[in-house]
């Protein structure tokens, strides 16, 4: 049985969400162009939904970070069951590793492994 500190897992998940939110901010120019050239209300709604998604990622990241700070330092959880639900190898490694996280594949790169 592999165990890991709950606070560390929460902090790692928070960092992942923060990274995704940052990537979402990088889509801002695309969203702006989509809104300007929108020909249908559904186009505008989709751009607004993307903005809401980024905001939610930021909020959830902050929530998990604050939660990690309140978790008892000696509280550990079994990670086998948790790990099973994460199919992306690099994401699994970043979430369950004690190592410093590696950067995700840059935009335009396809991470198949």
Find out whether 51 and 31 touch, Cβ atoms under 8 Å.
Answer: yes
Task: Tell me if 113 is assigned to some domain.
Answer: no
Task: Tell me if 63 is assigned to some domain.
Answer: yes
Give the structural domain span for 41.
18-73
Task: Tell me if 37 is assigned to some domain.
Answer: yes
- Model-level pTM? 0.77
Task: Tell me if 11 is assigned to some domain.
Answer: no
Task: Tell me if 24 is assigned to some domain.
Answer: yes
Backbone φ, ψ for residue 8 (5° rounding): -65, -40
Q: What is the DSSP string of 14-61?
A: HHHHHHHHHHHHHTHHHHHHHHHT--SHHHHHHHHHHHHHHHHHHHHH
* Total domain count, the chain: 1
Task: Tell me if 104 is assigned to some domain.
Answer: no
Over the stretch 6-43, which tens digit does the pLDDT of each residue have?
999 999 999 999 999 999 999 888 877 777 777 777 77
């Amino acid at each position: 049985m592999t165990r890991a500190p709950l606070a560390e897992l929460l902090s790692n998940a928070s960092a992942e969400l923060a990274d995704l939110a940052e990537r979402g901010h990088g889509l801002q120019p695309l969203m702006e162009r989509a809104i300007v050239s929108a020909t249908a209300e559904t186009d505008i709604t989709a751009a607004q939904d993307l903005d809401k998604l980024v905001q939610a990622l930021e909020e959830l990241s902050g929530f998990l970070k604050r939660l990690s700070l309140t978790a008892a330092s000696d509280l550990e959880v079994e990670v086998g069951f948790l790990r099973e639900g994460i199919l992306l190898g690099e994401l699994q490694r970043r979430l369950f590793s004690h190592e410093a996280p590696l950067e995700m594949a840059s935009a335009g790169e396809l991470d198949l492994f």
